Chain A
């Protein structure tokens, strides 16, 4: 590689025989067994193992204390005492609407469902072809999409804001 060669690269893309085309030789391959490991991790992700049964040793202490803490906080919350008084946990009732007169099913999926489908189904369509869902969401900023007939992800055309999801699509954004 000499200095003259370094100045020969075209600006509009890779060309053979230039120093930058040698970058292709630096390409590294996935290690052996990579595919198997990815498939196994997918299976693990699908079948999140749950261990049932009574805990042994002292491993029950932390969950028990956590459970007790949750019970106390829930009591304070539902009786309107303690730090939650008058706060109503900052949840907001929101009505989502989507126009899809020919759809057979419309779901609402977002960060509040951990982007998992099957949790919030919209009701409809009504005579005007609208689907609706009325749900409670924690105050703050949320991203969501409508999933039409289980396969088409649609950004809410009435969303106040949209944000790239990093996968080439736009998520709808709602600020509560």
Chain B
């Protein structure tokens, strides 16, 4: 789809076309689902959040500003929904614990199913062990290829805060990976 076609689809979608909405989901579904999955670590919950993201976007489509990349706008909605859910889970410690365990089991199954290398499994485990506030910026920058400014806009952060979170996220990830490498080197 070229830029002009994309603009036409977005215009049709804002006017209420369901066909255009379907194309929008098709083109952005992976990015939204990936963010939701990497933030919650559970496939069913991720699909639920991703679905809600598109429904909310559709309900608020008149608020979309074309100068803002549509995918980034959708990811902003998704990140916001993930934060709300996360706050909900944190209110209930038992649920949080059960959810964390469920996440870990699912991740292990998924990693084995995908035949991932040990390195990638270690990287994934380190990423998912990061606090939510540091994980989201890394996902947006490294998985979605966003600039730091886009990360800041999407997460409603100041540029300096986005930079700081990216640096801290990388530092913590690096530390965890070094420990993993170190552990493997031990006799």
| Interfacial residues, chain A to chain B (CB-CB below 8 A) | 1-3, 6-7, 9, 11-14, 19-31, 34-35, 37-39, 41-43, 45, 115, 147, 150-153, 164, 166-169
Is the CB–CB distance between A35 and B26 below 8 Å? yes
- Count B-side interface residues using an 8 Å CB cutoff: 53
The answer to whether A13 and B141 touch (CB under 8 A), given A29-B30, A31-B43, A168-B65, is yes
Contact of A38 among B55, B148, B177 (CB under 8 A): B55
B9 at the interface (CB under 8 A from A): no
A166 contacts B76, C-beta separation under 8 Å: yes
Q: How far is the CA of A20 from the CA of B120 in the complex (A)?
A: 10
Q: Which residues of B are found within 8 Å of A29, using beta-carbon distances? A: 30, 33-34
Q: Which residues of A contact B153 (CB under 8 A)?
A: 168
* Interfacial residues, chain B to chain A (CB-CB below 8 A): 18, 21-22, 25-26, 29-30, 32-34, 37-38, 43, 47, 50-51, 54-55, 58-60, 62-63, 65, 68, 73, 76-77, 80, 119-120, 122-124, 127, 138-139, 141-143, 145, 147-148, 153, 156, 167, 170, 173-174, 177-178, 181-182
Report A-chain residues with C-beta under 8 Å of the C-beta of B142.
14, 20-21, 23-24
